[in-house]
């Protein structure tokens, strides 16, 4: 199959994420044409009930999408991510955080997923903190933003406990912390919904929720100590 624009988009995005192992760019950043195209495609495929045509190729499922990914994506990673609810986001999120010296297996992908979650949460925390300190932000919104700050701090706390659980081979604690984050990530958006407002964090939260969902699936269903 001839390389299409989507493959080029994924390759480009993977390169962007690999610029710095210590400080990867935000997962939510869709400012470049490549990343915008990729995220638009993910959104359309996730919402469309019918087969999705892209560049002359009909993609009827996520499996079809995974089948056209570039050869640079390890088949083991494709297989693990393919068993999550958000396989494309799984690949995008974990690739920059995988240990090059470790085999690609559920545990290493889980660790990478937790690091990606931590990174995305810190980006969200920085953004919501900036909004809360902006003098132009309505005072009625500030308490809601504080709720979001609390939510993100809770997720960061659970991330550290999850890594500790992995070190201690404690599956019960690991499942508890990963499950807690599934509830935590809803807190910011729910606070805005209760105020009948649209959350300015909804896009970042959507990616974060996908990462959290994937880490839970991998941690509960695939990791065995």
Distance CA 117, CA 24 (A): 12
Q: Is the pLDDT of residue 203 over 70?
A: yes
Q: Worst-scoring range by mean pLDDT, 47-51, 85-89, 129-133, 168-172?
A: 47-51
- C-alpha dihedral sign at 186, 44, 113, 146: negative
Distance CA 113, CA 120 (A): 10
CATH code for the part of the protein at 72-222: 1.20.140.40
Q: Is the pLDDT of residue 122 over 70?
A: yes
Which pTM was predicted? 0.73
Q: Exposed, middle or buried, 219 (CB in 10 Å: 0-12/13-18/19+)?
A: buried
Distance CA 195, CA 188 (A): 11
pLDDT digits (tens, 9 = 90+) for 17-65: 333 333 344 444 433 344 444 445 555 554 544 455 555 555 555 566 5
What is the residue-averaged pLDDT of the chain? Answer: 80
- Write the secondary structure of 69-108 as one string of H (helix), E (strand) and C (coil): CCCCCCHHHHHHHHCCCCHHHHHHHHHHHCCCCCCCCHHH
More confident residue, 58 or 153: 153
Q: DSSP label at 31?
A: -
Q: DSSP label at 61?
A: S
Q: Worst-scoring range by mean pLDDT, 15-29, 61-75, 81-95?
A: 15-29
Q: Is the pLDDT of residue 196 over 70?
A: yes
Residue written as tokens 């920085």? 126
Q: Worst-scoring range by mean pLDDT, 28-32, 65-69, 172-176, 195-199?
A: 28-32
3-state secondary structure of 195: coil
Phi/psi at 76 (5° precision): -65, -40
For residues 176-204, average pLDDT: 96
**H helical segments located in the chain:** 5-17, 33-47, 62-67, 75-82, 87-94, 106-133, 142-167, 171-184, 187-194, 202-221
Residues 4, 57 contacting (CB under 8 angstroms): yes
**Closest Cα to residue 98, out of 66, 74, 82, 124?**
74
């Amino acid at each position: 199959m001839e390389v299409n624009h989507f493959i080029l988009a994924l390759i480009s995005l993977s390169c962007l994420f690999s610029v710095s192992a210590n400080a990867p760019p935000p997962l939510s950043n869709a400012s470049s044409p490549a990343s915008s195209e990729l995220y638009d495609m993910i959104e359309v495929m996730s919402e469309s009930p019918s087969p999705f045509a892209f560049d002359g190729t009909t993609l009827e499922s996520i499996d079809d999408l995974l089948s056209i990914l570039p050869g640079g994506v390890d088949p083991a990673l494709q297989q693990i991510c393919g068993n999550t609810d958000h396989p494309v986001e799984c690949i995008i999120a974990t690739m920059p955080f995988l240990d090059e010296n470790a085999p690609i297996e559920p545990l290493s992908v889980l660790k990478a997923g937790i690091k990606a979650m931590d990174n995305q949460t810190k980006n969200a925390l920085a953004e919501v903190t900036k909004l809360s300190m902006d003098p132009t932000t309505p005072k009625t919104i500030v308490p809601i933003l504080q709720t979001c700050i609390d939510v993100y701090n809770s997720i960061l706390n659970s991330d550290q406990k999850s890594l500790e659980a992995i070190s201690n081979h404690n599956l019960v604690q690991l499942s508890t912390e990963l499950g807690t984050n599934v509830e935590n990530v809803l807190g910011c958006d729910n606070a805005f919904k209760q105020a009948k407002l649209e959350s300015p964090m909804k896009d970042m939260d959507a990616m974060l929720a996908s990462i959290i969902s994937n880490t839970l699936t991998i941690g509960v269903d695939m990791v065995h100590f």
